[in-house]
Structure 1
Amino acid sequence: MLSMKTFTRAALPVALALGLSACATNTFKADVSRFAVPLPAPQGQTFAVVAEDPKLAGGLEFATYANAVAAELTQLGYAQAASPDSADMLVRFDYRVDGGRERVRTSPGVGGYGAFGPWGRWGGWG
């Protein structure tokens, strides 16, 4: 007959695995298209990162992506140009963000008077 201690030792990893697998559901959806053109070996070429869509240029989100691309190219041995006009290569990219979904959550009593009205639990002036 199995003792409770032996049973617990055997059942604990299974229960833990089941519990963690329940948390592993991912609802984030990302559709990514990637096109890569082989670059020449770096020989002092300069580059500038520009937005394919001019409306995206200058935005905080574009700057974040552009800085990431520039950091990768710098690690490969390319040098960032002072301006797109003086660059040997232009790196153009585009991104889109869909409308997403809006989720509204409400909790009773939070941010309002709750179930007891504006004067507290007893309904009068304390």
Structure 2
Amino acid sequence: MFGEDQIAQQLSATRDTLAEAPAAAGGQAGPILTEGADGRIKVTLGADGRFERIKMSLSALKDGPEALLDQLAFALNTALDLRSEQTAVPVPAAGMADVNERVARMQDASLRQFKDMDESVRQLMRQIHGR
């Protein structure tokens, strides 16, 4: 009467579609090491994606504070960009369209089933009250 089996089948199909979508990236496999100032500045991001260490040679310090900061920012931003690329989740364009379509069908079917259920309850109430 309420179509529980049909709703269960629709939910199962939607779950199957979601399971086929690419999995979210779970992080990178290891640390990321980038360089600036021709290898005289090295920046490491840990496997968890957080900043871990900076190593620099004495010759990098001789370039002056402004050049040092520019190269440090370059190395750090490169490391962060690499981390973003490694952890980016691809957008499943076709898969999500299918999921949206299935959810819309499920919503439409649910509305019809609730209308049917409402009408059944109204008929029962009319019988109980003798109308």
When normalised by structure 1's length, the TM-score is 0.30
Question: RCO higher in 1 or 2 (8 Å CA, sep ≥ 6)?
Answer: 2
* Bigger helix fraction: 2
When normalised by structure 2's length, the TM-score is 0.29
